[in-house]
């Protein structure tokens, strides 16, 4: 029987151990690491409550074990081939050891993104439009995303919504909801503050690692708006 998740270190044998160790050290030095990993009983309680474990060849126990044993090779494999299957539901927070396997995964994903791992780029393929929306408009989901080609498996009703979008948005009593490109009306000043947060926290560097095209579009949009508001800010 062949398993989807190949846990033999051989798959990434060509990646130098030092590189794998460097990435592990980055995980371990994260301020959250000691708060989300205390060891592992290998009890499997996390797996029993994990939705992703039911549908993928995926196990939060294996991830917690690898992290607790500091198995650098295995963690590298999991960081590439497993962590993106997690649903981030945090059902595994019921771990009797006090771990949060879901948050161990969050940290591993961040390291993967910061280092521009190919597997992270692939996992986020098709996701760029969402990142663009949230980072540039301040609301993650907008009514105009409801297009039939984006949600074909949701049926004809998406078509109906997109056809009537303008009118149906106006037929909403709360005044803030008459928008189509954002979830609600967001102030200009609010956006400026959000862009300054992205600027000050290095988030844009992460985007650059993962999707250079998206990074350039975002930089254009943000720098222009910031300049109009009187800020001399560049993202380089």
Partner 1 sequence: MIHLPILKAADRKWETDPSQAPTHDLKDEIFQLEKEGEWIVQRVPEPYFEVKTKYGRIKKIPLEKTWHHKSCGQCGHIPGYSTSIFWLNRQFGLDYHDPTNQTSCTAWNYYASATSNPEAQAAVAIRNFASAYKTGYFPLIHCGTSFGHYKEVRHALVHQPELRRKVKKIMDRLGLPFVIPEEIVHYSEWVYAMRDRIAERQVVDMSHIVATVHPACHYHKLIEEDAIYSEEIYGAQRTAIVTGTLQALGVQVKDYSTWFDCCGFGFRHILVSRDFSRSFAVQRKIEVMKEEANPDVVVTHDTGCVTTLDQSQFAAKAHGKKVGVPVMSDSQMAALAMGAHPYKVLQLHWHNTNNKPFLEKLGIDWKKKWDEFEAECEKIRRGEKAYLTWEDADA
Span 157-176, contacts to partner 1 by CB under 8 A: 157, 160-161, 164, 167-176
Residue with smaller CB distance to partner 1, 18 or 125 = 125
Helices (H), the chain: 17-28, 33-36, 45-48, 51-55, 60-69, 72-81, 101-114, 118-123, 128-137, 156-170, 188-201, 203-210, 212-228
* Euclidean distance between CA atoms 14 and 154, whole angstroms: 43
Selection from ligand SF4, partner 1, none that 123 binds (CB < 5 to 8 A by kind) is partner 1
Residue with smaller CB distance to ligand SF4, 20 or 61 = 61
Structure tokens at 159: 């078509």
The residue within the footprint of partner 1, chosen from 80, 106, 136, 162 (CB under 8 A), is: 106
Residue with smaller CB distance to ligand SF4, 90 or 132 = 90
Say which residues have a Cβ less than 8 Å from residue 59's Cβ, sequence separation at least 6.
47, 50, 53
Report how many residues bind ligand SF4 under the rule CB under 6 A.
28
The residue within the footprint of ligand SF4, chosen from 13, 19, 51, 193 (CB under 6 A), is: 51
Residue with smaller CB distance to partner 1, 173 or 213 = 173
What DSSP state is assigned to residue 125? T
């Amino acid at each position: 029987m062949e398993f989807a998740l190949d846990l033999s270190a051989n798959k990434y044998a060509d990646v130098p151990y030092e590189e794998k160790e460097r990435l592990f050290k980055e995980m371990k030095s994260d301020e959250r690491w000691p708060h989300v990993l205390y060891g592992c009983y290998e009890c499997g309680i996390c797996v029993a409550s994990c939705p992703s474990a039911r549908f993928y060849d995926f196990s939060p126990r294996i991830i917690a074990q690898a992290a607790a044993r500091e198995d650098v090779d295995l963690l590298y494999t999991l960081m590439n081939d497993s962590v993106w299957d997690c649903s981030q539901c945090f059902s595994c927070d019921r771990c009797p050891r006090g771990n949060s396997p879901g948050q161990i995964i969050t940290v591993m994903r961040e390291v993967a993104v910061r280092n521009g791992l190919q597997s992270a780029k692939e996992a986020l393929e098709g996701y760029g439009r969402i990142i663009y929306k949230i980072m540039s408009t301040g609301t993650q989901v907008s009514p105009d995303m409801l297009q039939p080609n984006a949600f074909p498996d949701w049926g004809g009703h998406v078509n109906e919504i997109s056809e009537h979008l303008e009118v149906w948005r106006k037929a909403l009593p709360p005044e803030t909801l008459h928008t189509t490109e954002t979830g609600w009306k967001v102030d200009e000043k609010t956006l400026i503050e959000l862009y300054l947060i992205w600027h000050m926290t290095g988030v844009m560097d992460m985007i650059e690692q993962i999707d250079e095209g998206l990074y350039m579009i975002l930089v254009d949009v943000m720098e222009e708006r910031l300049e109009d508001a009187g800020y001399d800010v560049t993202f380089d």
